[in-house]
Amino acid sequence: MKRAAILLSIVCLLFFVACGQSEKAEKATVSEPQKATEMVKEGAEKTTEMVKEGAEKTTEMVKEGAEKTTEMAKEGAEKTTEMVKEGAEEAAEKAKKKME
């Protein structure tokens, strides 16, 4: 009788332990996708922030490049204007000399 009680106790103990393990396994399988979803959301947020920062830096670089290009174009236009004026003056002087 003692053996039967001990055996029954052991079987019940194993049964309860096994049931508890399956619940833990179910909880683990449920929490894994949640963790994965959270990780993906965090990664997406970080990526979004990085893209925004990159876009801001690119915009700044483009503005600086446009300003430099504008300055260079203005300088080139000024030089060209001066050269044209000098050429026109020289041509006018030559024409005057030929007419005299």
Domain that holds residue 26: 1-100
Alpha-carbon distance of 72 to 9, in angstroms, equals 93
- Residue 20's pLDDT is 65
Tell me how many domains the chain contains.
1
Pick from 36, 16, 37: which is nearest to 24 by CA? 16
Q: Is the dihedral of CA 12, 15, 17, 20 positive or negative?
A: negative
Q: What is the pLDDT along the chain (100 residues), one digit of tens a residue?
A: 677 888 788 887 777 776 666 555 555 555 677 777 888 888 888 888 888 888 888 888 888 888 989 999 999 999 999 999 988 888 888 888 878 6
What does the DSSP assignment read for 50-82? HHHHHHHHHHHHHHHHHHHHHHHHHHHHHHHHH
CB atoms within 10 A of CB 11: 10
- Residue 17's pLDDT is 72
